[in-house]
Amino acid sequence: IPEGVDSHTFEPTADTARLIADADVIFLNGLDLEDPTLALARSDKKDGAEIFLLGEHTVQPDGYLYDFSFPRSAGHPNPHLWMDVAYAIHYTELVRGELSRIDPGNAATYRANADVYLTTLRTLNDAVQKAVDTIPPQDRLLLTYHDSFAYFAHHYGMRVIGAIQPADFSEPSAQEVAALIDQIRTEHVPAIFGSEVFPSPVLAQIAQESGAKYEDTLRDDDLPGDTGQPEHSYVGLMLYDVRTIVTDLGGDASALDAVPTSNPYD
């Protein structure tokens, strides 16, 4: 997926088709996140190539979360599992296992590389929990533009009180906006969070009228920094988001300093 493009709206290109046609295994998040890419993979993959849906292998249906942008009535669960680092750990273990299965001659290399990365992810998971735990309990509330923090909040002990952007990318009604403003005032929410990729005039309005700080730089799949920089990674993304959330909600993000950001394979 190119820089600055949301995984929900990404449309595969001719270059994408060529990559898929050459692949031995195609890993996707699944849970209906990348339907155009999945359809292309099914039509263009070479004989014998496999499609592996990480989400479906990670969470059973009774663990799916349905919420503001992904209501149960629509039948599609929230797909943003990777925002919970524990699920990212499981994704890594699944990739390691699948690569080792289809390419057993290199299984030792896959295991060794995965072990290095898993050490970093486990450190990250522990640090995120420690940082979130410093937020005053009454302030562990998330109002976001994109509904990508459901699994994050569920795991680390926060509560998502709203998400502005429905899955169909429509805008909330005036009544819904007014209700959110009232809720923010009632619960004294210190900050609300927008998206780096999708600026939201609605969230800016909510912040202005409620008195909450508006932080518009969160991201869920667009990596921070530039290619080659240490922060341009999943770990860098999580560190940026969590540091921003914890700090703006009155916590201490210093626990995140224990997480290495350098490329462990350099």
Fold of 67-266: Rossmann fold (3.40.50)
Q: What is the predicted pLDDT for the residue at 166? A: 62
Check residue 265 and report its DSSP letter: T
Each domain of the chain, given as residue ranges in start order, spans 67-266
pLDDT recorded at residue 9? 65
Q: Judging by beta carbons within 10 Å of its beta carbon (0-12, 13-18, 19+), is residue 170 exposed, middle or buried? A: exposed
Strand order in the sheet with 191-195: 159-165, 141-146, 191-195, 213-218
Which amino acid would we find at residue 189? V
* Cβ atoms 100, 164 nearer than 8 A: no
Phi, psi values for residue 44, rounded to 5°: -110, -10
The tens place of each residue's pLDDT in the chain, 266 residues long, gives 666 666 666 777 888 889 999 999 999 999 999 988 899 999 999 999 999 999 999 999 999 999 888 989 988 999 999 999 999 999 999 999 999 999 999 999 999 999 999 999 999 999 999 999 999 999 999 999 889 999 999 999 999 999 887 656 667 889 989 999 999 999 999 999 998 777 788 899 999 999 999 999 999 988 998 888 989 999 999 999 999 999 999 999 999 999 998 877 76
How far apart CA 141 and CA 143 sit, in angstroms, is: 7
Residue 154 one-letter amino acid: H
Q: Which residue has 């295994």 as its token pair? A: 25
pLDDT value, residue 65? 97
pLDDT of the residue at 173:
85
Quick one: pLDDT at residue 124? 99
Give the global pTM.
0.93
